[in-house]
Amino acid sequence: MRTWSKGSEEINKLDDEIKSLLPIVCTNCDYRDNFNRRIFSINLEPENKLDEIQVKEIMNRKLKVMHFGTFVGEKEQYLTAAKCPKCNSDDVFWDY
Ligand SMILES: [Zn+2]
């Protein structure tokens, strides 16, 4: 599993669709300004593919991300997460 943070050069190599998907509003406190965006990618090759439970486990336990979105690209599945700088919640609504 690879990880990108907002602003890194690699994020520019990602699918255009995922780049235009942005955190809009914190559903906990209604904050609507700049979020730190994190994008994770998972290889979709069958031999390396993680199932939904494994993905959730990694996100929740290892990365401490409770809420995340999923986006299936051509060769990879992306997971999107953002943390609210105001209240620290990761329950954020994303949109294009
Ligand atoms: Zn918030």
Instruction: Find the 69 Cα to ligand 1 centroid distance in Å.
Output: 17
Cα of 74 vs centre of ligand 1, distance in Å, is 32
Range of the domain at 11: 2-95
Per-residue pLDDT, 17: 75
* pLDDT mean values, one per 10 residues, the chain (96 residues): 54 72 95 90 80 90 91 83 95 93
Instruction: Tell me what pLDDT residue 7 has.
Output: 46
User: Distance from the CA of 88 to the center of ligand 1, in angstroms?
Assistant: 6
Contact (CB, 8 A) for 80 and 37? yes
Rounded CA separation 18/15 (Å) = 6
Cα R_g (the chain), whole angstroms: 13
Q: For residue 55, give every residue at least 6 positions away whose Cβ sits within 8 Å of its Cβ, in sequence order, or none.
A: 42, 70, 79
Residue at 42: amino acid letter: I
User: Total domain count for the chain?
Assistant: 1
Task: Specify the residue for token string 């730190």.
Answer: 36
Distance 84 CA to ligand 1 centre (A): 5
